Amino acid sequence: MECLKEKFVGGALLKGRYQTISPLNHGSFGMVFKAQDLVTNEPVAIKCLTKRSACPEGFSDFAVDEKSEEEALHSRLGSHDNIVNLIDSFETDSHIYLVLEFCGQGDLYEAIRKGHGPLETEHVRQFMLELIDSVHYMHSKGVYHRDIKPENIFLTQDGAMKLGDFGLATTEKWSYEMTVGSDRYMAPEQFDSAGAGYSPAEADVWAIGICLLNILFSRNPFTTPTESDPLFLDYSRDKQSLFDVFPAMSQDTYEVLVQCMNLDPRRRSLEGAREALLRVVTFTTDDEDDDEYCGAESPNVATANREPLRTPSIQSPAVDTGAFPWAKALHGTPHVGRQLSVIPDDESYTEELFPKSEATTADWCSANMQTPMSSVYDSHLGASMKSLAIKPTARFNRSSATAGSLPITMAKPMPAMSMVFGRRQEAVSKSWSDMWDEDEEEE
């Protein structure tokens, strides 16, 4: 594994131009670090990827091809204000280096976790419009992301957003690769398309809706978009069940979500979401009286004595989470009325789930803050997933309901977002919504 996890050396000069400063992240596929461009005197982020030919036998699955697919995707995309752009690239006999824009305020994930996400109505609107612009541009160039989530959305020092991490992106308009991405953000058809495949472009639109809910409420609506999750099952029968999960959600927000999170992929619309965003008066009912912020903050925010969990990207063809054929939901008989699945909710939470941040009322548009770029520019650090020889994994069984998917009320504060990169031994990635279950198991 020595060729996969490079030891960081500060002050090293690369290509006679880039001087290394500090590591940002590392994993099985390489390392990402901050460097100074001595020509422009600007900070950059450099991703170091190990070539397959440089790896010892048995570790080639954790390396990239001799020609980086991610570099090719960046070349295809060109430059855009709302995309983490490729500045330069170079290689040695054993490594490929991608020089990327450095985003000084880190990622959206950390911003939300620390209470510095977009808070006011106009800030949320502008942020989401920029995200839609980046996805629209990307799709116009024939590139489909497949892993849109807060960890892959970055914030510049002046508050603009940039979409990054193209390690799971594809140029194929129709894909048969199942469970590619991050489970909390995958569209239902990515889990089970009944063998018919799916449109990666339409899956990207679904993820935009989940990101909006993350910004407003710091949590996900479902654990996974499968019938094993009672809340998703309710949603598949009646989209308005989201009001049971997010009582403070406004009708305006709901109108945006239905444009993104339609069970029929063909009815999802970037343009429809854009138009709905422009019509928003308030994103939450709390804003109707006071537009100070969108995510309602309770004075009794709880913490736990450990870090919350990130949502790593995955590609696990054999993972079984109770597949939900989205076509079944489309053609199923609609249920009269609306009733949330019965889930016991009698636990009492007295300790804080997440440590309170030093500042929780300033948003990133006005606060000059240095957010750690803990997820950097690639949740799996640039591996070409098509090049991996994925071996069948053991069948994974998970409980049909998790406490993290329980309905919330304003009396029970919601946990913030998390920062741990993930756990290798788990077949399915986890999110902050799993924290309650794990706390109970540890007692």
Has 147 been annotated as catalytic?
yes
Residues 335-353: tens digit of each pLDDT: 433 333 333 334 333 333 2
pTM of the model: 0.69
Q: Which of 312-339 are b and which e, b meaning 16 or more Cβ less than 10 Å from the residue's Cβ?
A: bbbbbeebbbbbbbbbebeeeeeeeeee
Instruction: Give the pLDDT band of residue 266 (cuts 50, 70, 90).
Output: very high
* Catalytic-labelled residue, pool 147, 234, 252, 320: 147
The mean-pLDDT minimum among 13-22, 36-45, 304-313, 406-415 falls in 406-415
Structural domains present in the chain: 13-101 (3.30.200.20), 108-331+349-437 (1.10.510.10)
pLDDT of residue 366: 52
Q: Quick one: which of 152, 189, 183, 162 has its CA closest to 268?
A: 189
- Give the CA-trace dihedral at 349, 351, 247, 110, to 10 degrees: -140
pLDDT tens, 169-221? 999 999 998 878 888 999 999 888 778 899 999 999 999 999 999 999 999 99
Task: Kindly state the average pLDDT of the residues 321-329.
Answer: 42
